[in-house]
Amino acid sequence: MSNNIGDPGHGHSPAAWTAVVIMLVAVGLGTLFFWLDLPVLVWASAGLLVVGLIVGWAMAKAGYGVNGSKYVAKEH
């Protein structure tokens, strides 16, 4: 068992949710395009994956991350 003293809030911020949704769409589209043998669109979806990472980072820097000024934690 672990003694989890405090939840660091991993994944419970608008920045994390936005980044993950963009990256899931990119992986899903990339898989579809790979299956349809469309290599240009596979690479485009790889670019979208990087865009998701950048958007998540930028939103966290703008205050929408776990410890950001614009983030309000929800009680469970």
pLDDT tens digits, 17-36: 999 999 999 999 999 999 99
| 75 inside domain | no
Number of domains forming the structure of the chain: 1
46 within 8 A of 16, measured Cβ to Cβ:
no
Q: According to the model, what pLDDT value does residue 42 have?
A: 97
At position 43, the amino acid (one-letter code) is W
| 33 inside domain | yes
Q: According to the model, what pLDDT value does residue 1 have?
A: 46
| 70 inside domain | no
Band (66; pLDDT cuts 50, 70, 90)? confident
- What's the domain range around 57? 14-64
Rounded-to-integer distance, Cα 43 and Cα 35, Å? 13
